[in-house]
Amino acid sequence: MDVSLEVSFLGGPQPQRGVGVVAPFDFALDRELWRWVPDDVSLRLTRTPYVPVEVSLDLARVVSEHETLCEAVRALGETEPEVVAYACTSGSFVGGLAGERAMVEAMSSAGDVPSVTTSGALLEALDELGARRIALVTPYTESVTRSLEEYLGEAGVTVTGRAFLGLTRHIWKVPYRSVVDMARQAVVGAADALFISCTNLPTYDAIPQLEAELRMPVLSANQVTMWAALRRVGVHAVGPYQQLLIQPEPRPQSPLEARLEDGLEVRLDESLEAGFEAGLDELGSPEATPPLPPVPPLPPVPPVPPVPPIAPAASAAAPAGPADPQADPSQLPPFPPTPTDEQEGWA
């Protein structure tokens, strides 16, 4: 007996839009990136080659060399991504604004697709929110944190407060509790937003809690990277209770728009169309239509004669007649005498 499973009825798989991601060799949060991606988009990740250097400005420079990035982008090209993102904050801010722009140009040339970096996406997100004063959280050492502040200052963004962990490895192992505690320490002044740096620092589930507690937008490295990359291809990143990802409420759709959206054509009644066209034919062109004669003025209205006064009516004398007994009680006849008991026969 043939027991082979017939799977032709399944169809698919459904087409997927590709987003290429170049990450540093120690990146360990692939699953977090996927959480911002809708179902019809697929991430195609690759990593830079391993180098025996701890997290530092030196490592940031090594993993952001153009030759390294271009080789990774060309490898991703076989998967036909529509956009490529470099998912590394320190590697994209270490060269300042000019270095970040040069990095994007090199990646775009190598892959012939739009490219973004985490640090460039951060500035784009801050512009989107209108935030120019931010609180800053990083897992870096003080020197790397200071370099990020210099990058932000070059872009006209002021850091109002900061907190950093001073880590040089195993950043992906930091728990959410530590991220939240650092955020509370960093927000010490009037800030428009909070930024949590490093794509290797877990943040997805901490963002809604911090936004509710701090009453301000909270951005993270992985969030802005996915948001900007998907935006390049006209796709919205997904994520509950994250202010950057909130889409404006669509206005109510009219019944006519709904019918048009369903593919139905709205037409005038044929008889009305025919009558309208016939009327246009009769009118002819505006130049051939003679002008209307001027309207003659109306004759003046004669004045209304005054109404003569009405003479008062003469009062008539009331006819003589019997007096009204109700008007004068003295005119009523006397009552007959009341009979006694003997007269009534009761004795």
Instruction: Please tell me whether the overall predicted TM-score, pTM, comes out greater than 0.75 for this model.
Output: no
Other C-beta atoms lying within 10 Å of the C-beta of residue 30? 13
Other C-beta atoms lying within 10 Å of the C-beta of residue 254? 9
Helix, strand, or coil (residue 173): helix
Other C-beta atoms lying within 10 Å of the C-beta of residue 108? 16
Look up residue 27 and give its two tokens. 């990146």
| CA 79 to the chain's CA centroid | 32
Range 233-237 average pLDDT: 96
Report DSSP state, residue 259: H
- The confidence score (pLDDT) of residue 266 equals 47
Q: Are 47 and 75 in contact (CB under 8 A)?
A: no
Q: Roughly what angle, to the nearest 10 degrees, separates helices 66-76 and 96-111?
A: 30
| CA 164 to the chain's CA centroid | 32
Task: Report whether pLDDT(287) > 70.
Answer: no
- The confidence score (pLDDT) of residue 268 equals 44
Give the helix ranges, DSSP H, for 187-269: 206-214, 221-232, 255-261
pLDDT tens for each residue of 80-135: 999 999 999 999 999 999 999 999 999 999 999 999 999 999 999 999 999 999 99
CA–CA distance, 228 with 122 (Å, rounded to integer): 9
- Integer CA distances (angstroms), 218 to 87, 224, 225, 235, in order: 18, 10, 14, 21
- The confidence score (pLDDT) of residue 76 equals 96
